[in-house]
Structure 1
Amino acid sequence: MSSQSVSADEPFRKLLLSFGFVALAGGVLVAHRTPATGYELSIYTMTSPWIWAGLGTALLVSLAVSFAPSGADGWESRSFALVLGGLAITAFAGLPIIRGYHFFGHHDALTHLGWAQGIADGTISPFDLLYPGIHTLSVLINSVTGIPLSSSMLLVVLLSTVAFVIFVPLSVGTVVPDQLAVTIAAFGAFLLLPVTTISTFMQPHAMTQTILLFALFVYVLLKYLVSDGASGGLAFVFAIVAAAAVVFHPQYVAHVLVVCLAICGLQLVVPRIPFVSRTRPVRRIAGHRRLYGHTLLLVAVFLLWSANHGFFSGFVDRALTSAIEYILTGSGEAGASISAQGGSLAAIGVSLTEIFVKLFFPHLVFAALTGLLVLAVVLTGRPRRYRDVSAVTIYLAAGLCGLGLLFVVYFVSVTNEMYFRVFGLIAVFTVILGSIALHAGILSLSERLSTRSVRTIAVGLFAVLLVLSLASVFASPYVYSQSHHVSSAQMGGYESAFDAADPDVEFAGFGGAPNRYADAIYAAETRTGAHATVTTDTFESGPAEYYGTDRYLVISEIDHQRETVAYQGLHYSESDFASLDADPNIDRVQSNGEVTTYRVRT
């Protein structure tokens, strides 16, 4: 395509970008003016279609303009297009804030809210918590801006997401200084692959926020390794990022140390292997700065912070013991858990294949791209357009091997809930390496086919991946789960139930919900575990006979909609909930429309 025709398209691109920004602004304005009025089972279906139209239009315009062939002066349009896409993803991730949610997050998130409140009240010291990062930052935002603490925590979630969206393309740009590579990496980041709704969530969750901030760590790491300039400033930045990472989640830092040690091992051993040392990638590795000192610094900060906590010794002992037991006996919890979940899905007519495609198809695409790049570098030393691509690929591949080993250990041990958190870290690497691989593929195909055709295919690929990936970022019935929305009525209902309760009578609720709401309301450092969990046996036997003592039974709108709509009555039916009002041993104590408290008498 001639440069004259490319330049002639520039006014049209600017007009298209203007339309995209207007559509985005309109969607955000509609979202802000249509706040949630009660619990919403799905943020996708309860949000106005006009909002999705605005966000979708902005992303489509961003895609079209970013990948359109442009001349030397086209960088301005592409930059604005990437900003438009980034703002659209920011608006998407920030929908709970824009739509006025009181809070967003169940289980751990409610406990985190309580800890943050305790720090704000002065009843909890940040130094007594293993990972006080998101809590202290939320308190800081609350004290400076006056935003409610629950909203401040949601803002911390949004800021970590924005950091991921920014530093993934910057990391790729450090290795491949090309506008197209940065563009591909930006849209790879827009997929938000580290968030799986299984063990990582778009809600206050210390490990998820540290995983998203891992992109910043990778950027600083790559910048230090490949930069030819002075390293003093980068070393200082690395120290700051390392210290912050430890405060956000030391267990995450233990995983990062595996990556750093793998890179140190490469730098120490590979250049000394005969024949291999003469290859182009290894020669480049030999010319890079060594990571030894930085790794020692990270170890020191990690040990200094975790010295007062006995969590890790017990955790490591439990993980290794159960992994060895699995090797010797073949008994593992992860396989049994997956089988049980597969059976539950089959009971409502859903296959594991369907749920895998919904949750992990974009991950599979980028994993395949990553595998192709690693194979190309190891077998041929290519691509060679940029001098650091092959060396950085080997570094990150070594890190992936280390994380993959951890994934297997977690999978076969009693700590199997951790393996999807390691999967989140792996996703950061696969986004970076997959983007580099896709860039190399587009350049190679453009030499054989027309540039416009190749980039049109890339736009189509990302359009499909964006829809599939973003549809599962928030839990919803689409993935056979429920939204983690916490309305003000929900929080107020639990608070009223606790205040009016007989102190000698314990509570019971679905999924241990009373314990988590107690954490959020009373802001105690030690997690509450005094209250019971409702099971299917509770309804089969009858609550009075099952518990054997007086008990408060709390049923929320979340519980009702999750069980009857999201889970399609798999465990509890509509008649189970209706039976509570018909049971002579159960009295309704109070209800605000979203939370109902019963007194079970024996």
Structure 2
Amino acid sequence: MSRRVLDWLFAVGFLALAAGIALARASPARTYEASVYAGTPTPVWIGVALALAIAVATALTCRGREQAVGIGLGATAVTTIVSLPVVRGYHFYGMGDALSHLGWTRDIVEGEMAAYELFYPAVHSLGSLFYVLGGIPIERGLLFALVVTFVPFLLFVPLVVRDLSGNGLAVGVAAIVSWMVLPINNIATHMGVHTNSNALFLVPVVVFAVVAYLRRRATIERLPFGLSPFSVLVYLSAITLLLVHPQQMVNVVVLVAAISALQWIVSRRSVDHPMLEQPTLHTQTVVLGTIFGAWAVTNQRFRDAAEGFVTGIFAADVGAGEEIDQQGGSLTEIGGSLAELFVTMFLDAAVVGLLVGCFLLLVLLGRTRLDTEGRALVTYFVAALVPLGGMFLLYFLGTPNMAFRQMGFIYVVLTILAGVAIAHGLGGLSRFVSRPGATGVAAVVLGACLVLGLLTVFASPIIYSPGQHVSESTFNGYETGMDHGVGDRPYAGIGYDPYRFDHGINGLEGEESLTAGTAASGELDAEAFNEGEYGGAYNDADHYLVVTAFDETREFDVYQGLRYEEAAYRGLAYDPTADRVISSDDFRMYDVTGDGEE
């Protein structure tokens, strides 16, 4: 294809994407949206799909400048998808930890605490900067911070692969796999203001620094104390990661330590191995481990988490088997199945993981065409995956939720290795079919996986988890209720504990934070609620019952009344013990008289 035709093709792709962004901006979300995908106008998706189709084709078939432009087009399209809550004017996105992070950011802005008092203050500080320098609301500032922390993932995955192999096809494949956003699994890692997940997107920066240190020689550009520019880059990127979330810093220390250990073993058993020509990571292991240790041991929250992890491993009811069985039974009751959910959420990850696994086995057997240095670098990752996988198993026994966070980190590594693995697989396939035929097969398979991956970047009813859009109406409803409610009266929710909104509205450090009402808040007793015993559904006490559009969507549309029956909810309007005190499109609050007071 001529350069002129390619230029026209890129122009079409960027114009389609720009038109989609403009249309999305002109179609803001007026009320709660259960799905970012369904709420965004169809023409927007047509423009994004056209841009991605051009990007996939050019990333696989072009090299040099043209490939770089194609990768840039694809990365821009995926960033657009991730930015939809910002583009479409969401007040906020995230209803769990995200609201607590919003509260901490509010505390920093309002002077209730200093940023350095937080264990991992980077995202909160970035959101505060957008507020202070840009004059935008704190909620939107954090959504901007989400986008800023995401972009390095798309930039550095192909850069790492370029350093690993130097193969143009591998770089293109790695870029496409990065667009699938495999580290997000919507179980323990989420696309939102969730610092553990946000940290995953910075891991490729640290890996790039490590690979650059191993592969490039900087004997001339030495800095004081024997440092090289690349070792400084390792330290700075790792410290940045630590400030975003320390759990991913732990994984980086394990990765670097595994490489260092392999280098030490090879140095003891060989005198001419290619690894001996590369600089060692012994010093980096000690320095990074020391930095993390000094940071962690002074923090009570880290010590509590470590204690809970150890306790979980030795507890009688360890493991996630019982929880999985329970979830599978619930899915069956509402017409779904674990198999269906696995295909939707994890098929693309499973395909990539299988391909990478086969490739790594061939590398260990010496059956690939990698050069000696490239083989050594890939072997380093194999060595690192062993302890990382062991940590996954330990988490699975102790705290299953943490296991899926660990899985997110492992898939950052697999995303990087996928570029090299699939490129070598295509080289082998081209022996049996033509090179264009092999590229066509790759485009179809990767394109299908890309669609699956992007469909599950955000939570939505398609994975039985409605989107965590916090509309302005919902936020204002909670704020009004907490401002004018009786101070010591608890707040209850249908399937969702309202205390997180106290965090987001009032912060966690000020005098108005965690009022007596929200400190005692919780979920309703489903059995009592379904029987119409509204006053007795919360410990027989007077309470405020909050119901949002999110609750209605999750409990009645997605869960189909599995826990809370819609008829019982409708009965609130006619019950003399329940007085509706706030009502809007997305928010209702009832003042419920407890049975114990009658």
TM-score (norm 1): 0.93
Pick one of 563, 583, 588 that aligns with 2:575: 583
1:187 aligns with 2:176: yes
Q: Which segment drifts farther, 121-130 or 308-317?
A: 308-317
Partner residue in 2 for 1:556: 548
The separation in 2 between residues aligned to 1:512 and 1:351, in whole angstroms, is 24
Indicate if the aligned counterparts of 2:582 and 2:589 stay in contact, CA closer than 8 A.
yes
Pick one of 440, 453, 459 that aligns with 1:456: 440
1:569 aligns with 2:558: no
Partner residue in 1 for 2:338: 352
Partner residue in 2 for 1:371: 357
> Residue 325 of structure 1: CA displacement?
4.3
> Residue 448 of structure 1: CA displacement?
4.0
> Residue 447 of structure 1: CA displacement?
4.0
SS of 2:201's equivalent in the other structure is helix
The separation in 1 between residues aligned to 2:132 and 2:371, in whole angstroms, is 47
The separation in 1 between residues aligned to 2:488 and 2:337, in whole angstroms, is 46
Pick one of 501, 521, 545 that aligns with 2:536: 545
Partner residue in 2 for 1:420: 404
Residues 261-297 of structure 1 deviation map (CA, whole Å, 9 limit, x = unaligned)? 2111111113323xxx47xxx8122221111111111
Partner residue in 2 for 1:268: 264
What are the within-5 Å matches in structure 2 for residues 55-454 of structure 1? 55-68=48-61, 75-230=64-219, 232-273=228-269, 277=270, 283-325=273-315, 331-380=317-366, 382-413=367-398, 415-454=399-438
> Residue 582 of structure 1: CA displacement?
2.2
Indicate if the aligned counterparts of 1:370 and 1:433 stay in contact, CA closer than 8 A.
yes
- The change in CA–CA distance for 1:582 and 1:551 in structure 2 (over 3 A counts) is same
The separation in 2 between residues aligned to 1:498 and 1:333, in whole angstroms, is 39
Q: Which segment drifts farther, 466-475 or 124-133?
A: 124-133
SS of 1:360's equivalent in the other structure is helix
Indicate if the aligned counterparts of 2:106 and 2:507 stay in contact, CA closer than 8 A.
yes
Indicate if the aligned counterparts of 1:590 and 1:596 stay in contact, CA closer than 8 A.
yes
The separation in 2 between residues aligned to 1:533 and 1:524, in whole angstroms, is 21
Indicate if the aligned counterparts of 1:383 and 1:389 stay in contact, CA closer than 8 A.
no
SS of 2:202's equivalent in the other structure is helix
SS of 2:371's equivalent in the other structure is coil
The separation in 1 between residues aligned to 2:91 and 2:580, in whole angstroms, is 26
Pick one of 454, 476, 479 that aligns with 1:492: 476
- The change in CA–CA distance for 1:66 and 1:244 in structure 2 (over 3 A counts) is closer
The separation in 2 between residues aligned to 1:529 and 1:267, in whole angstroms, is 52
Indicate if the aligned counterparts of 1:175 and 1:386 stay in contact, CA closer than 8 A.
no
Residues 115-165 of structure 1 deviation map (CA, whole Å, 9 limit, x = unaligned)? 001001110222222111110111112212222211111111111221101
The separation in 2 between residues aligned to 1:212 and 1:175, in whole angstroms, is 19
Query: RMSD over aligned Cα, in angstroms?
Result: 1.7
Indicate if the aligned counterparts of 2:218 and 2:228 stay in contact, CA closer than 8 A.
no
SS of 1:124's equivalent in the other structure is coil
Indicate if the aligned counterparts of 1:369 and 1:433 stay in contact, CA closer than 8 A.
no
Indicate if the aligned counterparts of 2:131 and 2:137 stay in contact, CA closer than 8 A.
yes
The separation in 2 between residues aligned to 1:188 and 1:486, in whole angstroms, is 30
- The change in CA–CA distance for 1:485 and 1:444 in structure 2 (over 3 A counts) is same
> Residue 81 of structure 1: CA displacement?
1.3
Q: Which segment drifts farther, 186-195 or 449-458?
A: 449-458
Q: Which segment drifts farther, 206-215 or 566-575?
A: 566-575
1:530 aligns with 2:520: yes
1:505 aligns with 2:489: yes
- The change in CA–CA distance for 1:333 and 1:537 in structure 2 (over 3 A counts) is farther
SS of 2:372's equivalent in the other structure is coil
Pick one of 16, 26, 29 that aligns with 1:33: 26
Indicate if the aligned counterparts of 1:110 and 1:519 stay in contact, CA closer than 8 A.
yes
> Residue 530 of structure 1: CA displacement?
2.6
The separation in 1 between residues aligned to 2:184 and 2:17, in whole angstroms, is 23
The separation in 1 between residues aligned to 2:311 and 2:489, in whole angstroms, is 39
SS of 1:388's equivalent in the other structure is helix
The separation in 2 between residues aligned to 1:284 and 1:579, in whole angstroms, is 74
SS of 2:10's equivalent in the other structure is helix
Letter in 2 for 1:311: R
SS of 2:589's equivalent in the other structure is strand
1:517 aligns with 2:517: no
Letter in 2 for 1:474: F
Q: Which segment drifts farther, 445-454 or 176-185?
A: 445-454
- The change in CA–CA distance for 1:375 and 1:271 in structure 2 (over 3 A counts) is farther
SS of 1:312's equivalent in the other structure is helix
Percentage of identical aligned residues: 33
Partner residue in 2 for 1:475: 459
- The change in CA–CA distance for 1:367 and 1:125 in structure 2 (over 3 A counts) is same
> Residue 513 of structure 1: CA displacement?
3.5
1:17 aligns with 2:10: yes
Which 5+ residue runs of structure 2 have no aligned equivalent? 220-226
> Residue 420 of structure 1: CA displacement?
0.6
Residues 471-511 of structure 1 deviation map (CA, whole Å, 9 limit, x = unaligned)? 01110110011011011111000000111101121111134
Indicate if the aligned counterparts of 1:323 and 1:412 stay in contact, CA closer than 8 A.
yes
SS of 2:545's equivalent in the other structure is strand
Residues 18-68 of structure 1 deviation map (CA, whole Å, 9 limit, x = unaligned)? 111111111111000011011001111111000000000000011122223
> Residue 573 of structure 1: CA displacement?
2.8
- The change in CA–CA distance for 1:585 and 1:333 in structure 2 (over 3 A counts) is farther
Partner residue in 1 for 2:222: none
Letter in 2 for 1:176: S
Q: Which segment drifts farther, 27-36 or 242-251?
A: 242-251
Letter in 2 for 1:93: V
> Residue 100 of structure 1: CA displacement?
0.6
Indicate if the aligned counterparts of 1:135 and 1:153 stay in contact, CA closer than 8 A.
yes
Residues 61-116 of structure 1 deviation map (CA, whole Å, 9 limit, x = unaligned)? 11122223x5xxx5222222111111101101101011011111111000100100
SS of 1:552's equivalent in the other structure is strand
Residues 566-600 of structure 1 deviation map (CA, whole Å, 9 limit, x = unaligned)? 22222223212102112221111111221111011
Indicate if the aligned counterparts of 1:61 and 1:81 stay in contact, CA closer than 8 A.
yes
> Residue 387 of structure 1: CA displacement?
3.2
Which 5+ residue runs of structure 1 have no aligned equivalent? 1-5
> 4+ runs of 1 displaced by more than 3 Å?
384-387, 510-513, 525-529
